[in-house]
Amino acid sequence: MIRNIIFDMGRVVLSISFRGVMREMGFSEPAVEELRGILDRTDFWRRMDEGVMTLDEGLDFFAGKTQYRDEAREFLLHYDQYMREMPGTIAFMKDAKAAGMGIYYLSNFQEHTWKRIEQRGFFALYDGGVVSWRAKLLKPDERIYRLLCDTYGLRPEECLFIDDFQENIDGARQCGIHGIWYDYDNGMDLYAAAWEYGIALGEKNVEGPAC
């Protein structure tokens, strides 16, 4: 029986499109494509998520790789302000919470942006969670899933994890946690997906991409 639901953050609870954010910031298309390419080709983003690269180091690295230095710095410093709450997921979380289920987060995220994200009102729904920069671990490393379960006394077989990357779902399953791959690009009915695990909550609500 599922007693706890664990949520990833980006593209599950908060919408995010790197190109979309850059365009909202007013960057030129050449700047958007160059900066997105740097994010694809380098690992500094993951190192910041892991908490082994500081914000200043990340800013220096990112800006040092491009002619669009100001844009690189602006994006890295402020991208989280363009991450919007996904109403369908928030409604699902509220329904699950009202039904007595435990609500947790498990996310790869950077320190400077996480400290702002966790001030948002929906964080009151969580019973706890683990974030990568603090744990110094990244999904899909099995240790981060075990850390979450050990910290909060959760039984893996009673947990359902929702994430937009299949490799992260696979990592959870290796630890005995059930998983739902969240299809952000094509929209997702969390209520119907949860029903497959015996979870009956509220009205169905399909959430699609926002950027």
pLDDT tens for each residue of the chain, 211 residues long = 999 999 999 999 999 999 999 999 999 999 999 999 999 999 999 999 999 999 999 999 999 999 999 999 999 999 999 999 999 999 999 999 999 999 999 999 999 999 999 999 999 999 999 999 999 999 999 999 999 999 999 999 999 999 999 999 999 999 999 999 999 988 889 999 999 999 999 754 444 443 3
Q: What local confidence, expressed as pLDDT, does residue 207 receive?
A: 46
Q: What local confidence, expressed as pLDDT, does residue 211 receive?
A: 33
**Cα–Cα distance measured from residue 40 to residue 58, given in angstroms and rounded to the nearest whole number:** 15
**Cα–Cα distance measured from residue 135 to residue 153, given in angstroms and rounded to the nearest whole number:** 17
Peptide bond into 87 cis (omega under 30): no
Q: For 4, phi and psi rounded to 5 degrees?
A: -140, 140
DSSP character string of 12-79:
TTEE--HHHHHHHTT--HHHHHHHHHHHHH-SHHHHHHTTSS-HHHHHHHHHHT-S-HHHHHHHHHHG
Q: What local confidence, expressed as pLDDT, does residue 203 receive?
A: 56
